[in-house]
Amino acid sequence: MGLHIAPDRSAEAPIIEFREVGKSYGVFKVLDQLSFSVKPGEHLALIGPSGSGKTTILRILMTLETVTSGNVFINGVSLNREQKNGRDIPASEAHLRKMRADIGMVFQHFNLFPHKTALQNVALAPVLTGRMSKAEAKDRAIQLLDKVGLANKADEYPSRLSGGQKQRVAIARALALQPKIMLLDEITSALDPELVEEVLNVITDLRNETDMTMLLVTHEMGFAKDFADRVLFFEQGKIVEDGPPSELFHSPHHERTKSFLRKVIAAGQRV
């Protein structure tokens, strides 16, 4: 017989936790005592006006930025501090590399390696990080390029690809390291409008087919609504509102969320 118990997400330990994180550049506070956590497999959309700190959150998770105060935990392990000989010290390069292993990122401007073909862009890191042999990495890269619809562009250099194709190669490249957390930083903002859809379709497939935890920073409210299980609305480095997309987009509680959405709709976006 056996009793089937549905997994209870609320009881699961968070995969990401920000605990009173502050980040400033000089006197400018980007993040202000920010606390939130993300459960494994959650699809989070981070929205808000420019400069509200959304991208900084992704960059801190990718260890491209350090925090000014507070702590970030991945699976309960501190990202920015480590324990060595019983002392609490800033994370070393070795610690950061271990933590990065579970995290992948796709950038607004693709950041492809221009001197490498699409295939080489995808296969490089799995080989260099010692996860796969060259032959395995190549096979895997071909599979991934096929998945993003670019198997026929494997041997092209990025300069010969359209923006949408470049971004799909970048997604394949990030997937090659099989991350548990995927960070998507305004991945369609640099694209011509007619190329946005092909990239978003790839992301929708990933969302539906994998159990990756995904954090999406975006200005595409329509897509955020379809993509996310949960939306965080940021302003001035703080979370103003946190809820499911149906609630946040259709009956927001906060006046600032309302006025932000009004502006977005006025600018012609569907919500």
Partner 1 sequence: MQNLDATIGYGRFILSGALATVELTIFSCALALLMAFLAGLALLSRSYSIRAVARIYVEFFRGTSIFVQLFAAYFVLPLVGISLTPVQAGVLAIGLNGGAYGSEVVRAGIQAVGRDQTEASIALNLTRWQAMWWVILPQAVVVMLPSFGNLAIEIMKATAVASLVTVSELTFQAQMVRSQTGETAIPFLLILVTYLVIASVLTALVRLLERRFSRGTAGA
Q: Which is nearer to partner 1, 106 or 261 (CB)?
A: 106
For strand 77-78 and strand 69-74, is the pairing parallel, antiparallel, or unpaired?
antiparallel
Q: What angle do CA 53, 31, 13 make, to 5 degrees?
A: 95
Window contacting partner 1 (CB under 8 A); options: 11-19, 156-164, 188-196, 242-250: 156-164
CB of 117 to partner 1, least distance (A): 7
At CA 176, angle to CA 95 and CA 67, rounded to 5? Answer: 35
Angle at 141 between CA 137 and CA 143, to 5 degrees: 120
Select from 24, 71, 129, 210 the one that contacts partner 1 (CB under 8 A): 129
CB of 183 to partner 1, least distance (A): 8
Asked if residue 258 binds partner 1 (CB under 8 A), the reply is no
Q: Does 142 bind partner 1 (CB under 8 A)?
A: no
Decide: is 62 part of the binding site for partner 1 (CB under 8 A): yes
The residue among 10 and 159 lying less far from partner 1, judged by its C-beta, is 159
Q: Is 109 in the site for partner 1 (CB under 8 A)?
A: yes
190 touching partner 1, by CB under 8 A: no
Query: Taking the CA of residue 219 as centre, how many other CA atoms within 13 Å lie in the half-sphere pointing to its CB?
Result: 18
Size of the chain in residues? 271
Written as six digits, the tokens of 90 are 């800033």
For partner 1, give the closer residue by CB, 156 or 242: 156
DSSP 80-145: SEEEETTEEEEPPHHHHHHHHTTEEEE-TT----TTS-HHHHHHHHHHHTTSS-HHHHHHHHHHHH
Of 100, 166, 168, 225, the residue at the interface with partner 1 (CB under 8 A) is 100
Q: Does 23 engage in binding with partner 1 (CB under 8 A)?
A: no
Pick the binder of partner 1 from 77, 151, 177, 239 (CB under 8 A).
177
Tell me how far apart the alpha carbons of residues 206 and 16 are, in angstroms, rounded to a whole number: 20
What six digits make up the tokens of 54? 């959304």
Q: Is 134 in the site for partner 1 (CB under 8 A)?
A: no
β-strand partners of 31 = 23
Taking CB under 8 A as the binding criterion, the range among 33-41, 43-51, 96-104, 147-155 that sits at the site for partner 1 is 96-104
Catalog residues that contact partner 1 under the rule CB under 8 A: 62-64, 93, 97, 100-101, 103-105, 107, 109, 111-117, 124-125, 128-129, 157-160, 173-174, 177
